[in-house]
Amino acid sequence: MNVRRKITVLVMTTALTAGLAAIGFPASAAECGVRSDGRLYCGNKAGAKGYADRSYRSATRGQLNGTFSWFQCWGHGDPHPGGNDIWYWTQLDNGAWGNVPAVDVSTGQDPAPGLREC
């Protein structure tokens, strides 16, 4: 490839990258945090289940099919494989509300700083 073609490819790649960044794709899990509405917006495990109570023994109310969701608040419940007992309350994809174990939410620490306790 000659120098002129390499420069053209580099310029086109840079322009395409800048254009995609300007579109505003959804925030990544790295941008997990509480926003001005008081909710936690964070990455989650695709297919994470929401439970009626803060326990795997309670009824499943639905799930989170996507990988980025919001959470209203947190509470203590049964321990889970994440090494703590924190569960996050959210509206699931079917419209029902449920408790999602922290192990399925991509927080840096649990409970997430700034999110209110339920």
Domain segments of the chain as ranges: 29-104
CATH number attached to the domain at 29-104: 2.30.30
> Are residues 69 and 98 in contact, defined by beta-carbon separation less than 8 angstroms?
no
**Measured on CA atoms in the order 34, 115, 107, 47, is the torsion positive or negative?**
negative
pTM of the predicted structure, to 2 decimals = 0.75
In this predicted structure, the answer to whether residue 117 has a pLDDT above a threshold of 90 is yes
> Are residues 100 and 90 in contact, defined by beta-carbon separation less than 8 angstroms?
yes
> Tens digits of per-residue pLDDT, 19-57?
333 333 344 445 899 999 999 999 999 999 999 999 999
Going by their DSSP bridges, the two strands 68-71 and 60-64 should be labelled as unpaired
In this predicted structure, the answer to whether residue 11 has a pLDDT above a threshold of 50 is no
Predicted pLDDT of residue 4: 57
Share of residues in the chain with pLDDT > 70 (%) = 75
Which backbone phi and psi does 9 adopt, to 5 degrees? -60, -45
Report the pLDDT averaged over residues 82-96.
98
More confident residue, 28 or 110: 110
Predicted pLDDT of residue 18: 41
Report the pLDDT averaged over residues 55-83.
98
- Return the bridge partners of 89, or none: 73, 99
Residue type, 9: V
Share of residues in the chain with pLDDT > 90 (%) = 74
CA distances, 19 to each of 13, 24, 25, 28 (Å): 10, 9, 11, 18
d(CA 44, CA 105): 4
**DSSP-derived secondary structure for 21-45:** HHH-PPPPGGG-EE-TTS-EEEEB-
Report the pLDDT averaged over residues 85-108.
98
